[in-house]
Amino acid sequence: MKIVLATHNKNKRKELQLLLNSLGLQILTLDDFPEIGEIPEDGKTLEENAKFKAMTVNRLTGLPAIADDTGLEVDALNGRPGVYSARYAGVSCSYKDNVSKLLLEMQGVPYDKRTARFRTIVAFTDGSTELITEGCVEGHITENLKGFGGFGYDPVFYISVYDQTFAEMTENEKGKISHRGNAIRKMKQLLQREFSIFTDSKISTPNKENA
């Protein structure tokens, strides 16, 4: 069975592929469909954005699609940047721009007030069935960048239990505890449970050993 990851973000794509590989699916990405440009993320919630991206890619390709949207919610900033996390510093801003703005706004905030969480919503649709899952991880915002891995806000998102930021972890370590990892694992369970939805699909169904 083929499934399309509805993202152009190479970092997200890599994480999603690693987490979905065990399902035995043929995983495609938007790189396989260059005619599909950037999909707007102008919804008011993470769920709206994830569902819209999945539905758009399913409609344009005719294939089942999975999309996600992620937000960093900082308590001292009343939940910002939230749904605007990817463009917090403006349209077409870089990861560095977003992190710089966040650290500037957090100057002078003591550690115990620097609590935050990453939330990811993952949406799946094959055109008739929709599935939604959510993953969340709690942490703190550091005062300085730490680590060289990951992407986005990873260098400033600190997990006290591990005494590391996401950027200091390996890909496997991060995947085991991250918001996106949690949401994808839940989605994998739903896909396995609801796998009969593909029985009558035009798309080839994998054998039971690969399901």
The pLDDT tens digits for 67-124 are: 999 999 999 999 999 999 999 999 889 999 999 999 999 999 999 999 999 999 999 9
**HSE, side-chain direction, 13 A CA sphere, residue 81:** 23
What's the domain range around 56?
2-198
* Average pLDDT value for residue range 7-22: 77
131 is a domain residue: yes
How many structural domains is the chain composed of? 1
Judge whether 210 lies within some domain.
no
Residue 4 has what pLDDT?
Answer: 93
Asked if residue 203 belongs to a domain, the reply is: no
Residue 56: its pLDDT value, please?
96
Give the whole-number percent of the chain exceeding pLDDT 70.
92
CATH number at residue 131: 3.90.950.10
DSSP code, position 67: E
> Kind and range of the H or E element at 132?
strand 130-141
Alpha helix (H) residue ranges in the chain:
10-20, 46-61, 95-105, 171-177, 179-193
Residue 208's pLDDT is 35
Task: Find all residues with CB under 8 Å of 8, minimum gap 6, and list them.
Answer: 30, 31, 38
pLDDT of residue 195: 58
Q: Is 206 a residue whose pLDDT tops 70?
A: no
- Active-site residues, by number, are 69
Which pLDDT score, from 0 to 100, does residue 197 have? Answer: 40
Residue 58 pLDDT greater than 80, yes or no: yes
Mean pLDDT calculated for residue range 6-23: 77
Q: Answer yes or no: is 205 within a domain.
A: no
CA–CA separation, 182 and 108 (whole Å): 32
81 vs 92: CA distance, rounded Å: 16
Cβ-contact 149, 171 below 8 angstroms: yes
Stretch 123-139: mean pLDDT:
95
Least confident of 10-14, 83-87, 183-187: 10-14
206 in a structural domain: no
Mean pLDDT of the chain: 88
Q: What is the pLDDT of residue 210?
A: 36
Q: For tokens 């939940």, what's the residue?
A: 79
Alpha helices for 80-134 (secondary structure H): 95-105
45 CB neighbour count, 10 Å cutoff: 13
Q: CB burial class (10 A; 0-12, 13-18, 19+) of residue 3?
A: buried
Inform me whether the pLDDT recorded for 46 exceeds 60. Answer: yes
Cis ω for the linkage preceding 81 (within 30 of 0):
yes
Determine, yes or no, domain membership for 12.
yes
HSE value, Cβ hemisphere, 13 Å, CA-based, for 94: 3
Q: What span, in angstroms and rounded, lies between the C-alpha atoms of 156 and 147?
A: 9
Q: When comparing pLDDT for 14 and 90, which is higher?
A: 90
Domain annotation covers residue 208: no
Q: Is the pLDDT of residue 203 over 50?
A: no
Asked whether residue 71 is domain-assigned, the answer is yes
